[in-house]
Amino acid sequence: MENNKRPENMERITTPQLAEQFIAQQVEEIRQQVGDKKVLLALSGGVDSSVVAALLIRAVGKQLVCVHVNHGLLRKGEPEQVVRVFRDEMDANLVYVDAVDRFLDKLQGVADPETKRKIIGAEFIRVFEEEARKQEGIEFLAQGTIYPDILESGPVKAHHNVGGLPEDLQFELVEPLRLLFKDEVRVVGKALGLPDNMVFRQPFPGPGLGVRCLGAITRDRLEAVRESDAILREEFAKNGLEGKVWQYFTIIPDFKSVGVRDNKRADEWPVIIRAVNTRDAMTATVEDVPFALLQHITDRITHEVKGVNRVLYDLTPKPTGTIEWE
């Protein structure tokens, strides 16, 4: 793709008006590039792919085919929101792929974090490839590449999602956000009518809850990490911490400790809360969450999440800890 350098005089998109100008110009360019052909997009529901989807829906409507792969490692409510926003509200051509069993079967018994990441990445490409082969007449592949991706990867394109498709599926790329920084993508997303919790959401790793369910993933622990994460997010939102804290989530280790439930000793899992602030994710500090709120969240998690009897708060900055646990 030529034209991958942000012109020095390009104005920063900071207002709805500037976003509208950008959108109008991109809609024109996308229509010229794509004509009456079909475009494929892997739509994770993250900020970048969601904004690309909304932009392409505006430009070429049903010529865009969005593929949402539910790999079972998304947060509570995310797959449902993708379907609601894009299929129901924006009338998009959306293929929803329930690949939960497929991913969890492949991951069964795999404890090494990097092997888990590789399996998740490779399986994602395989599922996407299968869906791409089912579609007739695709000539373009849209991607949510943003300017930092280009700056980081130099001349080789290495955006996280669907690099790695086989030779015969090398489509021409459509990358309308390639000159934008993240904050600009959010302003554009808002102007396109995407919900705030999609546009302003915290970073979420590609392997998702897979790296927060430590060691070999099991369905019961995965459910516990998903439910405890949902409680944490709900309480942070209620208490004004959503949008203030850079990244916050729960982790479930693969060991139990003894506790008391219904007057009996019972072995159950702990859940760890992580809440950090950072500029660039290279270093991070821990959010000073009010103690009373931590106690309330602990109470909710230990009573509402099956199999969890303790909650811990990770006080470790990066370094020496990383943000994720594996």
Subset of 241-270 contacting ligand XMP (CB under 6 A)? 247
- Could you tell me how far CA 57 lies from the centroid of its own chain? 20
Amino acid at 55: L
- Residues in contact with 12: Cβ distance below 8 Å, sequence separation at least 6, in sequence order: 18, 181, 184
Output the smallest distance, CB 245 to ligand XMP, in A. 12
Would you give the end-to-end CA distance of the chain in angstroms? 35
Q: Is 117 in the site for ligand XMP (CB under 6 A)?
A: yes
Q: Is 318 in the site for ligand XMP (CB under 6 A)?
A: yes
Q: Which of 18, 87, 97, 206 binds ligand XMP (CB under 6 A)?
A: 206
- Residues in contact with 261: Cβ distance below 8 Å, sequence separation at least 6, in sequence order: 268, 309
Nearer to ligand XMP, 129 or 324 (CB): 324
CA dist 179 and 175 (Å) reads: 9
Interface with ligand XMP: number of residues (CB under 6 A):
12
Among the candidate windows 99-107, 125-133, 182-190, 202-210, which touches ligand XMP by CB under 6 A? 202-210
Interface pattern 275-304 for ligand XMP (x via CB under 6 A): ------x-----------------------
- Between the alpha carbon of residue 86 and those of residues 67, 93, 96, 249, the distances in Å are 11, 8, 11, 26
Q: Is 273 in the site for ligand XMP (CB under 6 A)?
A: no
Nearer to ligand XMP, 38 or 226 (CB): 226
- Residues in contact with 309: Cβ distance below 8 Å, sequence separation at least 6, in sequence order: 257, 259, 260, 261, 266, 268, 269, 270, 302
Among the candidate windows 1-9, 15-23, 88-96, 204-212, which touches ligand XMP by CB under 6 A? 204-212
Residues contributing to the site for ligand XMP (CB under 6 A): 117, 160, 203, 205-207, 247, 281, 318, 322-324
